[in-house]
Amino acid sequence: MRVLVPLPRCTLLRSTGKRGAHWSHSSSLLRTYFAYAKNCPCPPCRLGLAQDLLVTLALGQVLSLLICAISLTSKYLADDFHANTPVFQSFLNYILLFLVYTTTLAVRQGEGNLLAILKQRWWKYMILGLIDIEANYLVLKAYQYTTLSSVQLLDCFVIPVVLLLSWFFLLVRYKAAHFVGAGLCLLGISCMVGTDILLGRQQGLEEQKLFGDLLVLGGATLYGISNVCEEYIVKNLSRVEFLGMMGLFGSFFSGIQLAVMEHKELLKVSWDWQIGLLYIGFSAFMFGLYSFMPVVLKRTSATSVNLSLLTTDLYSLFCGLFLFHYKFSCLYLLSFCIIILGLVFYSSSSTYVVQDPRVYKQFRNTGSQLATDPHLLRPVVPEPSVTYTSLGPELGDDLPVRVA
């Protein structure tokens, strides 16, 4: 498969000796491009890597700000208007996903059509939809039983879950820099929670704390599964397909859960224009989060995204300084700096993707096109494997694969 690759000016001059050329089909030049992009001392190459790193960090913080807005609207609904309706709030988001993305799939033609997708893998998306719904429900429910500090700390369990699932199912291989970065991020969130405890902001029902902690761990595990599956889908299939299927099955199952578990709470809500605006705002922020998350996942990874989301609690605290008159501490700024430093460590190094040996089974079928096409029977020199990083694809030297 030939790929057009834009080459930087310094690479073209050193590899071809020609001026004015802008594209190349050669895999050797592709290797040269990434080698110079990583090691070339010229200002354009170094500036390009720095810009990619800043864009990666910025995208993660946009997600954190969206979740912060979701948390604030939920807090106003629960505390000021006594509207405890987490299932209904999720249901509104899934309805929006259905109206935008599921209908887009329905009017498509060919293999990307809604019916074609359902025929091939409907049961997989059904399971994924249930996982996504219950992950949201378990974590929101845990706030009724345990302390805020426990939720913030135990919710970090999603990071080792994503690391393990990415290692075994996405075949991602990490370097020491990634573990250092993840450790710094966890240190930063621990510093923030410790500051909360020192300032006396943590209160909870101690007699039911264990049950709440188990709910958080369950929700974090489901979040990790959902994030890794989403990363695989958006990188190998389609962002619109994922969101369309989430809208279809999410609205269906959350509607059933709403009718069974939350219809009485919904009837107790005293509807007025303020509550209406809060529900609309929550739905808009949640829809933006779901729509933007696949974009960031396709550029980075599930692990990088979850590390970026650790700053959400800090943004909520900063907003609370003005909205809820929280006490300020310089340790909050220290926590934020530690988390950002961890993100820089993690994003600055590439992760290797090991080629699954099972892909070679397709070449052993003697009745396939390979047995009759002489061009495909010629020996193929193994090419370097592609690795993925927060900064884009990179070529490795030690993992040969065959590229069809």
Bridge partners (DSSP) listed for residue 394? 387
Are the CB atoms for 302 and 94 separated by under 8 Å?
no
Q: Would you call 174 helix, strand, or coil by DSSP?
A: coil
CA 34 – CA 45 distance, rounded (Å): 10
Burial 29-68 (b: 16+ CB within 10 A, else e): bbbbbbebbeebeeeebeeeeeebbeebbebbbebbbbbb
Instruction: Write out the chain's pLDDT in tens, 404 residues.
Output: 434 434 444 443 444 444 443 333 333 333 444 444 445 556 555 566 677 778 888 888 999 999 889 888 888 888 788 888 889 999 999 999 999 999 999 999 888 889 999 999 999 999 999 999 999 888 878 877 776 666 777 778 888 899 889 988 888 888 888 888 888 888 888 887 777 677 665 555 556 777 878 888 899 999 999 999 999 999 999 999 999 999 999 999 999 999 999 888 888 888 899 999 999 999 999 999 999 999 999 888 888 888 888 888 778 778 877 877 777 778 778 888 888 888 888 877 777 677 654 433 332 333 334 344 444 444 444 333 343 333 344 444 444 433 33
Report the pLDDT value the prediction gives residue 369, as an integer from 0 to 100: 43
> Looking at residue 390, what DSSP letter applies?
T
Per-residue confidence (pLDDT) for residue 148, from 0 to 100: 64
Give dist(CA 230, CA 366) in Å, integer: 35
Contacts of 219 (CB under 8 A, 6+ apart): 134, 135, 136, 137, 138, 139, 142, 155
The reported pLDDT for the residue numbered 44 is 58
Structure tokens at 245: 């299927």
Instruction: Look up the pTM and report it.
Output: 0.73
pLDDT at position 30, please? 38
Give dist(CA 129, CA 376) in Å, integer.
41
CB 196 within 8 A of CB 320: no
Return the SS3 of 171: coil
Q: Which residue has the tokens 């089909």?
A: 25
Strand ranges (E), 123-211: 172-173
